Amino acid sequence: MDTQAFSIQAISSFYGINGKKLHRYYRNKLSEFETWEHRKNASNGLVFAKNIGTHLSLDETSLSQGELYTVLSNKAAKGKKGTIAAILQGTQSDYIIPLLESIPWYLRKKVQEVTLDFASNMGVIAKRCFPHAKQVIDRFHVQQLATEALQEIRIKHRWEAIEADNQAIETARINKRPHIPEILSNGDTLKQLLARSRYLLYKPESKWSMEQKRRSEILFARYPDIYKAYLLTQKLSWIYNSSPNKIYALTRLAKWHEEVAQAGFKAFNTISRTIELNYKKILNYFDNKSTNASAESLNAKIKAFRSQHRGVTDVNFFLFRLTKLYA
């Protein structure tokens, strides 16, 4: 079993060994890092051409102190060995493209599909390095924009409720009387209602608990604009879940755009415009129902690995351990 798979700190604690000494010994003797050909320049970028598959994901991740790396992953490996096809410093296309172009052309031209997010630089990288591949914008990034717009409306009302409550407290103090906030029928104050409604707005009505159903009734009665925004968010999700092909999805998206325009929410109008500008890549989802979930899963594993080892102090060594597991 690879010693990277478990915590050096846990081993040192169990055996009563100095953790730093054991880490150094593992790094310099046991891990084979000292004989690794990339030990001095791994942080500049690593490419594993043999891991190129027909369906790839392109995403970014943070290793330490906000430093971003671009990760190209092979979906067929399913998050195991052979998943990482490249992990490259930064996200600038001018730097990333030449490194990926070092992959032999016969491997790059067999790539059929690349899933990615809205970042324009990722689109440029995919187009230049894998010109035969269809680009698919991940559905969850589209839906996330709508959810964030919905939460923005809720948060705006919450700040207004907090300010109103502060003013009521100040007025009560001036008049030398106790402040008694309004208690709603479910026991929430208005501030609590808006704070506790956060999670129910992420879910469809069918997945609400009884408490969330009751809270939603009060919330939507008090704030019809939140209800209207919630419906727009759910309808966008419904388009993804129920459209059998691009034609149906395009028709339903056109109707959704009309509803957004009528609703008059600035943030939703921005989302609508973003979808219109990227509609071809968004509609490509309906060919194979491909998402960037594998890339997000790998990103979560990288974050967990980073957290397990209390951050990244030596990027080259961290990349060595990471690629031993996933490349």
**Domain boundaries defined on the chain:** 1-31, 40-137+296-326, 139-288
Residues 24, 29, 33, 39: what is their CA dihedral angle, to the nearest 10 degrees? 70
Return the pLDDT at 298.
Answer: 86
Return the pLDDT at 11.
Answer: 63
Tally of CB atoms within 10 A around 147: 17
Q: Is the pLDDT of residue 3 over 50?
A: no
3-state secondary structure at position 88: strand
How far apart CA 181 and CA 170 sit, in angstroms, is: 12
Q: DSSP strand E in 154-244: where?
A: none
Return the pLDDT at 295.
Answer: 84
Give phi and psi for 135, each to the nearest 5: -95, 135
How far apart CA 108 and CA 254 sit, in angstroms, is: 35
Q: Is the pLDDT of residue 225 over 90?
A: yes
Return the pLDDT at 4.
Answer: 43
Task: Show Cβ contacts of residue 317 under 8 Å, excluding neighbours closer than 6 positions.
Answer: 27, 33, 39
pLDDT digits (tens, 9 = 90+) for 13-69: 655 566 566 566 566 656 677 777 787 788 888 999 999 999 999 999 887 777 888
CA contacts within 13 A on the Cβ side of 288: 15
How far apart CA 111 and CA 53 sit, in angstroms, is: 6
Q: What percent of the chain has pLDDT over 90?
A: 67
* Structure token digits, residue 186: 């479910």
Whole-number CA gyration radius for the chain: 25
In eight-state DSSP terms, residue 114 is E
Pick among 3.30.420.10, 3.40.50.300, 3.30.365.10, 3.40.50.720: CATH of 40-137+296-326? 3.30.420.10
Task: Show Cβ contacts of residue 91 under 8 Å, excluding neighbours closer than 6 positions.
Answer: 60, 68, 70, 119, 121, 122
Confidence label for 5 from pLDDT (cuts 50, 70 and 90): very low
Average pLDDT on 246-272 reads 95
Q: Nearest-CA neighbor of 87 among 319, 324, 292? A: 319
pLDDT digits (tens, 9 = 90+) for 93-136: 999 999 999 999 999 999 999 999 998 999 999 999 999 999 99
CB 127 within 8 A of CB 107: no
pLDDT digits (tens, 9 = 90+) for 139-164: 999 999 999 999 999 999 999 999 99
CA contacts within 13 A on the Cβ side of 223: 23
How far apart CA 130 and CA 132 sit, in angstroms, is: 6
Confidence label for 319 from pLDDT (cuts 50, 70 and 90): confident
Return the pLDDT at 209.
Answer: 95
- Distance, C-alpha 11 to centroid of its chain: 33
Task: Show Cβ contacts of residue 92 under 8 Å, excluding neighbours closer than 6 positions.
Answer: 121
What burial class does residue 100 get, using C-beta atoms within 10 Å of its C-beta: 0-12 exposed, 13-18 middle, 19+ buried?
buried
Give phi and psi for 141, each to the nearest 5: -70, -35
How far apart CA 103 and CA 52 sit, in angstroms, is: 9
* Structure token digits, residue 185: 């029928």
Please indicate whether residue 159 or residue 312 has the higher confidence score (pLDDT): 159
CB 129 within 8 A of CB 205: no
Confidence label for 217 from pLDDT (cuts 50, 70 and 90): very high
Q: What's the whole-number average pLDDT of the chain?
A: 88
Please indicate whether residue 14 or residue 248 has the higher confidence score (pLDDT): 248
* Structure token digits, residue 38: 């990339």
The DSSP H or E segment spanning 111 is none
* Structure token digits, residue 2: 């690879």
